[in-house]
Amino acid sequence: MAQTVFHAYIGYNLKKILPKERFYTPSIIFGALLPDIDKLFVLIGSLYFPLSISKKLFQSTFSHSFFTLLIIY
| DSSP string for 14-48 | GGGTS---SSHHHHHHHHHHGGGGHHHHHHHHTTT
Does the pLDDT at position 1 exceed 70? no
Give tens-digit pLDDT for 55-68.
Answer: 888 777 776 777 77
- What rounded mean pLDDT belongs to the chain? 75
Using the predicted structure, report yes or no on whether residue 35 has a pLDDT greater than 70. yes
pTM: 0.52
Q: Convert 49-62 into a string of H (helix), E (strand) and C (coil).
A: CCHHHHHHHHCCCH
